[in-house]
Chains A and B, each alone.
Chain A
Amino acid sequence: MNKYKKITLDGIIFNNPTFILVLGTCPTLGLISSALSALEMGLAVIVILTLSNVIISALRKIIPNEVRIPCYIVVIATLVTLIRMVLDKFLPSVYEALGGFLALIVVNCIILGRAEAFANKHTVAESAVDGVANGIGFTLALTAMGIICEFLGKGSLFGAQIMDFSIGLFSSPAGSFIVFGLSICAFTAIIDKFQRAKRVKQNKLARENLLDAGNAARTAEEGNA
């Protein structure tokens, strides 16, 4: 498989930072009561994660191992501050909607986690792809849960009221926690089923190949005899 395709699929699906690695839980629980806020947070994380991965990957041969974590934190904090400035200047409504969670991206485990686990061992291009993929994975997860929470909690989708019925619990962090837990269950079950099916298929193929090889060997022996 193409390595970029593998990095992308890992980031979005097989190592999804929200559902599989359970990283970035604080903004997840805080923001998924609104689908729009969840989407906006996800987009901000994509930008910051990609840039931090690129910068850290570019500097990986310069930064000594002993001070790598402080260096990563400085880079990430700078990027988050920059994004805050840009949003406050050009997208004030997004800046206000994300509130304190925007500043908390500095301590989002996904950003530091990808810097430590991937960017400091891979090339700039690979790190950029990894940043975008993980950011997309995070965004999709948050938005999907945001849609569920907002629909159940407020009867609306992306702010547009579509029904009067609502369950207040799902507008609160407690409701978000329930949806988060159930989403992890569902996602893990689907991935597990998919991987089992893949394994069964691979085993079947391997068995068939083995049988074919055995048959071929037997035929060859009979031919020789």
Chain B
Amino acid sequence: MTVKEFFKTNAFKCIAVLLSIVLICCIALTICDSLFEVTAKERLDRAIAEIYGESVEYTVAEIDEDKGDTAQYSIDELYDLSGKHENEFLMKITGKGGFNSGSVTCWVVATVSPVSGEDGDGFEFGGITKATIDSNVNQSYIHYITSDAIQAVINKQDGDGFTSYDTNGIKTGATFSLGAIANALNGAKEYVEAIYCGVVLPFDGYEYTDKLNVNETTVTVDGTNVNYHIVTNHGNHPKPFTIEMTVGADGAISNYTIIVNGSTMDYGSDMAAIALNMNGQTLETLEAFINSDGIHTGATYSNEECVYAGLFATANYEKALAEFSQGGNA
């Protein structure tokens, strides 16, 4: 077949037509992308209009790298409001741990209140006054989450933060997505407390604290043994676990007892087996296990909470021994 003949074939026509259509579509999309682009400024103005219904004065605040990105949340943008919204912070924050390993990005307004103390004047966390959804990744049922559901999560804040799962009676049909939103709200609270209120969280600087309720977790030292009373955080699927654990001088877990089983389903017997399997585990074996992608038990999230509790206990043995050997308790 000559070149001339090839250009007359149906195969050439097919390729030419398909490529032409693709090219035209690409050009059209490129033009429209620049025409309909929603800028970051527009998104911010939308968020402000939705939250306040008016324009507000703000300055861009710097985000602390260490506190601004954790396993539960990451802060994308932070604005310090002024004028009649003094002491308010507008944060664009992404809550992680949503459905299908996705996330939900929210605009959150956090407030601080001035307080006077012995150490001088300062601020305390005032609360979250408003939160709206900006965008999401992989959250198919995000439309189930209404502003009322978000407000219900905000209103049910307790001392430990915001919870979303059915311990709170909030049912949306998008449990994981609401869990990610709760993580965003908790992130906003933690960040404002740490940066603007000077609150130092218990176990600051310890490893594997992401899945822990650090306010309720306690540590005691008995000789060379470190005894942990660990309460996991709410997460978005299991309820909190309470686990008692001892780590000996060899760095291995010598006692692992699940006091409160936070599994959402009837996995009681499985939990007992897991607790038995945790005895004798060290930091190395647990890290190898958690990184092996081997947890697929039918209660994966619950198992992860239990393994991460073990990782916290074994990874921080030396640090806890040194810090709490005087009979201290976090």
On A, residues with C-beta under 8 Å from B are 30-31, 33-34, 37, 59, 62-64, 66-67, 70-71, 74-75, 77-78, 81-82, 85-86, 88-89, 92, 96-101, 168, 171-172
Contacts and interface: CB of A to CB of B under 8 A. Distances in A.
A97 B196 CA distance: 35
A12 to B, nearest CB: 26
Interface string B67-85: 0000000000000000000
Contacts of A168: 171
B38 A89 contact: yes
A82 B32 contact: yes
Contacts of A85: 32-33, 36
Interface in B95-151: 133, 135-136, 138-144
Contacts of B136: 99
17 contacts: A30-B140, A30-B141, A33-B173, A64-B13, A67-B14, A67-B17, A74-B21, A74-B22, A75-B25, A77-B25, A78-B29, A85-B36, A88-B38, A96-B133, A99-B139, A99-B141, A101-B140
User: What 3 A-B pairs have minimum CB-CB distances, sorted nearest first?
Assistant: A78-B25, A85-B36, A89-B36
Contact of B10 (A63, A66, A86): A66
A125 B22 CA distance: 25
B142 A96 contact: yes
B282 to A, nearest CB: 43
Contacts of B28: 78, 82
Nearest to B138: A100
B162 to A, nearest CB: 21
A33 B144 contact: yes
Contacts of A88: 36, 38
Given A96-B142, A97-B143, A99-B136, A70 B173 contact: no
Interface string B19-33: 001100100110011
Contacts of B138: 100
B319 interface: no
B21 A81 contact: no
A62 B17 contact: yes
Given A71-B21, A78-B29, A100-B138, 14 more contacts: A30-B140, A63-B17, A67-B18, A74-B21, A78-B25, A82-B32, A85-B33, A88-B38, A96-B133, A96-B135, A96-B142, A99-B136, A99-B143, A100-B140
A31 B144 CA distance: 9
A75 B29 CA distance: 11
Contacts of A74: 18, 21-22, 25
Nearest to A97: B143
Q: Please classify the interface of chain A as helix (H, G, I), strand (E, B), loop, or mixed, using the class held by over half of its residues.
A: helix
B46 interface: yes
Given A81-B29, A171-B173, A172-B173, A98 B143 contact: yes
A82 B17 CA distance: 21
Q: Please classify the interface of chain B as helix (H, G, I), strand (E, B), loop, or mixed, using the class held by over half of its residues.
A: helix
A100 B50 CA distance: 22
Contact of B144 (A70, A92, A171): A171
Contacts of A31: 143
Given A74-B22, A168-B171, A34 B143 contact: yes
Contacts of B25: 74-75, 77-78
A9 B135 CA distance: 39
A172 B144 CA distance: 9
A71 B18 contact: yes
Among A33, A63, A64, A172, the most chain B Cβ lie within 10 Å of the Cβ of A64
B22 A64 contact: no
Given A74-B25, A85-B32, A37 B143 contact: yes
A119 to B, nearest CB: 15
Interface in B28-55: 28-29, 32-33, 36-38, 46
Given A74-B25, A171-B144, A64 B10 contact: yes
Contacts of B139: 99-100
Contacts of A82: 28-29, 32
B36 A86 contact: yes
Given A99-B140, A99-B142, A171-B173, A92 B17 contact: no
A135 B319 CA distance: 65
A215 B183 CA distance: 86
Interface in B141-182: 141-144, 171, 173
Contacts of A33: 144, 173
Contacts of B143: 31, 34, 37, 96-99
Contacts of A100: 138-140
